[in-house]
Structure 1
Amino acid sequence: MPSQPEPVPVLSSTQRLLALRAPVHASLSPDGALLSLTTTSITAGTEDTVTRWSLIDIASGDEGPLPGADVGTGRGVWSPDGSTLAAITGTDGTASLVLVDPTGTLPTRTLDGASRVAGAPLWSPDGTSITVPCMRGVEVDRTRPYRWTRPSAAFDGMGPLEDPPQLRMIDVSTGDGTWMTDDGWRWAGVQWSPDGDRLAAVAGLDPNGLEFGQRLRIVGRDGAVTAPATPTCRVLRAVWLDDGRLVALLVGATDRPFGSASRLVVVDGEKVSAVAVTGDVELFGDVYGDSPAELTECPDYVLLADHGPAVIVRTGARGRMGIARVDVDSGAAELLVDGDRCASPIAVRRSTLVFSSQSCERPAEVAVLTGARHSQRRERNLTTFGPVAAGVTARRFVVASPDGPDGWPLDAWFLTSPDAPDGVALPTVLAIHGGPQAAFGESFSIDFHALCAAGFGVLYTNPRGSVGWGDEFAHAVIGDWADGPTRDVLAVVDHAVAQGWADGDRLGVTGLSYGGYLSAWLSSTTSRFRAAVIENPATDLASMWGASDIGFEFMAPQFGGAPYEAAEAYAAQSPLYRAHESRTPTLFVIGEIDHRCPA
């Protein structure tokens, strides 16, 4: 008998989407002509990650591999003269720094003074040195008793904290390195001043355990550290202007309630001045997605220095993210990129803006806006990683909240497969975002596409407490994690059922972190859902206060004090104390080393 051909494996929606190239790092050459782009993908049907490093010609869009680059090398950053790329090779804990000739003429050179690299390198303005975060190699033998001095020995997404990255300066000519910091803080976000005398950086996770956020620091070449009078923030990004002033974007600053609007400040010597941004522009944006495209979420790119007193900054409103230019002297803001999508800046040179763009229907691509300083602007994609046809069809709609002044508008989305039959109510999963001070919207989600491919509708909204609709809306969840948001999400469910999109007898609910919390609350206090899949939830709020990596600082402002000060509020809103009332079949998906929501 003739041999039979090997059967072609049937790939799931998730496998197909993970096989697409996802942008994780980019650097634009000083002349704005070439983009160094690093992408990752997972070979279909395997768990093998493939890293690809390429150069894209901005004018033509042509892409080609970097000549002579070793496999696994990437995340290259251009030197000030455009002749060399400093790149990272190796994996976490063993990563090193190499210099690569983009023409492939000269051999790759390893900088021996940089080992255990833990962040992006940054060239000094004169190109003679590179500053890069590196770990010092501190190891703890966890097979024996050991001691830690922080309130939390590990942080979510980072793991153990005993070896936080410190700043190391590398001499490009010799490859030798010297430590600029050694203080137990976690250093990142390095930006050299235009004169090359000092750098701005972000120091996070106070080793004394007083604050879990990030602080702005200025470090001299001699290692002297000064601290501008800016508050601790959840995310902080700073860039230098040509005149030597420093502009900082403060996200989640601890001097204001959780969920408050992000803001810009200018640091000029010891003076710190707020920028009064004009117009209806909310900065930063915080729209959760679910994909490997790190470039769309990396805080290193959310604020860029433009020309003169102008900066390029990411914006966010109602589940969308855009890009604006802000004059920090006048506060005037001009939207450059907006629409039903989530965009994030990558680099700006003269009138060329490179950015990432994604939507709930399409995965992330890299795009370019030319004429960004002029009225005649032209936008085009530099990449086509995703399929030609969108994987889902999205209905975007607004429902009035049953509460709030005149009924808050609740932005909502209903996703279905393009092959879903018309006029048929679908079994539908209500997805709830984490936070609670965050948002869902136009960010791409592999999980949502997988559910749609399986025949489900996916419904999500931004209930009270979400960001992107002003401080009053974001603050409305403080002290009310449960009942108010429940009314909001059920109003959206009712609308989807009434429209004939969702089958009211075949509803499910899911969410992660705070989304897991509200899913657990709904599964215990309503009978609307046939099943619940609850991922990494907080079910006992008092335990969250005591056991979470951010618990003691995050929970008290949400509920009016610590559990011993507001015990009734914690207990009344803990799903654990309503679990005995649940009649909803529930699957818990728990991360064994989840430090954020361990209860």
Structure 2
Amino acid sequence: VPGATPRRITDGAGQYGRPSFSPDGRWLAFTGTDDMDLEAPDDDLWVVLAGGGTPRALTVGYDRSIANGAIGDTAGFGGQPPVWTPDGGAVLVVVGRDGEAHVQRITVPEAGPGTVTPVTGGQRQVGAFAIDPTVADGSRLAIAVHDPVTPPEIHLVEAGRDERVLTRFNEGLFRELALSLPEELSVTHGGVPIQSWLMRPSGSATAPGVRVPAVLEIHGGPHTMYGWGYFHEFQVLASRGYAVIFANPQGSTGYEQAFTEALRGAWGEVDHPQQMAVVDAAIAHGDLDPQRLGVAGGSYGGFMTNWVIGHTDRFRAAVTQRTISNMYSMYGTDDIAPISMRHELGGAPWDSPELTRRYMELSPITYVRDITTPLLILHAEEDYRCPMEQAEQLYIALKQLGREVELVRFPDESHGLTRGGKPKHRIEHMARLVGWFDAHL
């Protein structure tokens, strides 16, 4: 509004976002936390009078974050603000939980916390939804939902009625394709359960009883989660005869707060042994060839790919995407590092000799001499979350050490290349990744 002055609505300290006004304009709902000490605090759903005041948490005692950290390679999912029912009696949100993502209904009483009730369920992920404004209690809504073998489609959910599929955009194509449905694995490391999955090669990609190569995929974040959603990259690898292993080690969202926070200040140190335990379990579970293993990941998954091959030689090929190699230099070039890394490690790298040492201990570049695995680096030139210099440092070091490494730069692309990049670049990116594993596994 021209000439208007911004006014603070909430009292006290907190990190809040995604505001949404109630239909009568009386309340403002939003998600966030008043705990400023945690690196990845669970979000609550809050309300505050639109005129300002002290926020009230509606989800006190709920054991998951009021957020959807599910990750895939389809665009447009995650981050939807809370949606009020037309009568103002409740708010609907998408919550990621144990690899699933579902709509939850949270009542808004005049005082105290609300009641959380699931609206959708099943081994799938809801990415977005819209309420029918003509139904006062919000019990009729459209959802965009996907599962490991079905890209997003629109479904109609109505209280007391069977869910209806409204769109089948990919039905004709998918009748021609054989897709791989993940199997959930039972993995525990150090007494900590790690939710994990194994996708076997799809269709006739391999003969029965033949040991197959496998690729460990590591998610970004690190505070996100894999799960029961569609992931095109995984299906392409499965169609080429690879098993795909993926997991949510500590640091992932969708679990209790302590599980997510356990990675703080210990990137790679906590989750690397957990990832290796998942690989071991996958090999024990099925016909996988332990001599033909690959590893890949992007963003934090790129960090972990670098970390893994700097700490073990069990993988014959690796693809690091949107990579992180040097935590010290990233502090000064990454768009969020001056905030996120202060929380993660307790300060800037130059604040003390101990912090300088710790930043470098957690930098994959420190272990570059130990990397012997052939490595492909795929990086977007306009990536400000994982800057281009991170890829360049790793590439130059490996070249000077005489290791097998290739760097592919994608011009005019950002951190979201694999989800929202130009189609020609997304195709090239996928072809390079698959081609690297085809050549080495």
Band of TM-score, shorter chain: 0.7 to 0.9
What residue number does 2:380 align with?
Answer: 591
Give the deviation of 1:234 after TM superposition. Answer: 8.0
What residue number does 1:368 align with?
Answer: 156
- Does the alignment pair 1:408 with 2:202? no
Q: Deviation per CA, 1:225-272, whole angstroms, max 9, x where unpaired?
A: 21222666485242324361111122x777242222121111113222
Q: Is the 8 A contact 1:277 1:326 kept in 2?
A: no
Greater percentage in strand: 1
Give the deviation of 1:333 after TM superposition. Answer: 1.0
Give the deviation of 1:543 after TM superposition. Answer: 0.9
Aligned 1:104-115 pairs, distance under 5 A: none
Q: Which of 266, 280, 295 matches 1:509? A: 295
Q: Which of 202, 227, 251 matches 1:417? A: 202
Give the secondary-structure state (helix, strand or coil) at the position aligned to 2:329.
helix
Q: Is the 8 A contact 1:259 1:475 kept in 2?
A: yes
Give the secondary-structure state (helix, strand or coil) at the position aligned to 1:533.
strand
Give the secondary-structure state (helix, strand or coil) at the position aligned to 2:307.
helix
Q: Is the 8 A contact 1:238 1:249 kept in 2?
A: no
* TM-score, normalised via structure 1 length: 0.58
Aligned 1:21-170 pairs, distance under 5 A: none
Identity %: 28
Which letter does structure 1 place at the counterpart of 2:31? L
Q: Which of 354, 360, 366 matches 2:142? A: 354
Give the secondary-structure state (helix, strand or coil) at the position aligned to 2:229.
coil
Q: Which of 331, 339, 358 matches 1:569? A: 358
What residue number does 2:403 align with?
Answer: none
Give the secondary-structure state (helix, strand or coil) at the position aligned to 1:557.
helix
What residue number does 1:284 align with?
Answer: 67
Which letter does structure 2 place at the counterpart of 1:359? D
What residue number does 1:311 align with?
Answer: 91
Give the secondary-structure state (helix, strand or coil) at the position aligned to 2:186.
strand
RMSD in angstroms over aligned alpha carbons? 2.2
- Does the alignment pair 1:443 with 2:232? no
Distance 1:327 1:356 in 2: 23
Give the deviation of 1:410 after TM superposition. Answer: 2.8
How many residues align structurally?
369
Give the secondary-structure state (helix, strand or coil) at the position aligned to 1:521.
helix
Q: Which of 10, 27, 52 matches 1:245? A: 27
Distance 1:411 1:259 in 2: 21
What residue number does 1:582 align with?
Answer: 371
Give the secondary-structure state (helix, strand or coil) at the position aligned to 1:473.
helix
Which letter does structure 2 place at the counterpart of 1:315? V
Which letter does structure 1 place at the counterpart of 2:197? A
What residue number does 1:545 align with?
Answer: 331
Which letter does structure 1 place at the counterpart of 2:167? T
Distance 1:281 1:578 in 2: 36
- Does the alignment pair 1:484 with 2:270? yes
Give the secondary-structure state (helix, strand or coil) at the position aligned to 1:394.
coil
Q: Deviation per CA, 1:412-471, whole angstroms, max 9, x where unpaired?
A: 343531334443332111111111111111232222121112111111101110001111
Give the secondary-structure state (helix, strand or coil) at the position aligned to 2:254.
coil
The alpha-carbon distance between structure 1 residues 277 and 398, as it changes in their structure 2 partners (threshold 3 A), is: farther
- Does the alignment pair 1:467 with 2:253? yes
* Higher RCO, 1 vs 2 (CA within 8 Å, ≥6 residues apart): 2
Give the deviation of 1:348 after TM superposition. Answer: 1.0
Distance 2:278 2:89 in 1: 43
What residue number does 1:198 align with?
Answer: none
Give the secondary-structure state (helix, strand or coil) at the position aligned to 2:163.
strand
- Does the alignment pair 1:263 with 2:44? yes
Distance 2:332 2:64 in 1: 37
Which letter does structure 1 place at the counterpart of 2:141? L
Q: Is the 8 A contact 1:482 1:573 kept in 2?
A: yes
Distance 1:395 1:443 in 2: 10
- Does the alignment pair 1:392 with 2:179? yes
Distance 1:281 1:554 in 2: 21
Give the secondary-structure state (helix, strand or coil) at the position aligned to 1:401.
strand
Q: Deviation per CA, 1:463-508, whole angstroms, max 9, x where unpaired?
A: 1100011110101110110121101111110011111242211110
Q: Is the 8 A contact 2:20 2:81 kept in 1?
A: no
Q: Is the 8 A contact 2:97 2:255 kept in 1?
A: yes
- Does the alignment pair 1:558 with 2:360? no
Q: Is the 8 A contact 2:18 2:81 kept in 1?
A: no
Q: Deviation per CA, 1:361-382, whole angstroms, max 9, x where unpaired?
A: 21000111012xxxx2321111
Q: Which runs of 5+ in 1 are unaligned?
A: 1-179, 182-221
Q: Which of 288, 297, 305 matches 1:519? A: 305
Which letter does structure 2 place at the counterpart of 1:239? F
Aligned 1:288-307 pairs, distance under 5 A: 288-292=71-75, 294=76, 296-297=77-78, 299=79, 301-306=80-85, 307=87
- Does the alignment pair 1:226 with 2:10? no
Q: Which runs of 5+ in 2 are unaligned?
A: 391-441
Q: Is the 8 A contact 2:309 2:315 kept in 1?
A: yes
Give the secondary-structure state (helix, strand or coil) at the position aligned to 1:393.
coil
Q: Which of 457, 463, 468 matches 2:243? A: 457
Q: Is the 8 A contact 1:427 1:507 kept in 2?
A: yes
Give the secondary-structure state (helix, strand or coil) at the position aligned to 1:505.
strand
Q: Deviation per CA, 1:366-402, whole angstroms, max 9, x where unpaired?
A: 111012xxxx232111100123547522233243332
Q: Is the 8 A contact 2:148 2:182 kept in 1?
A: no
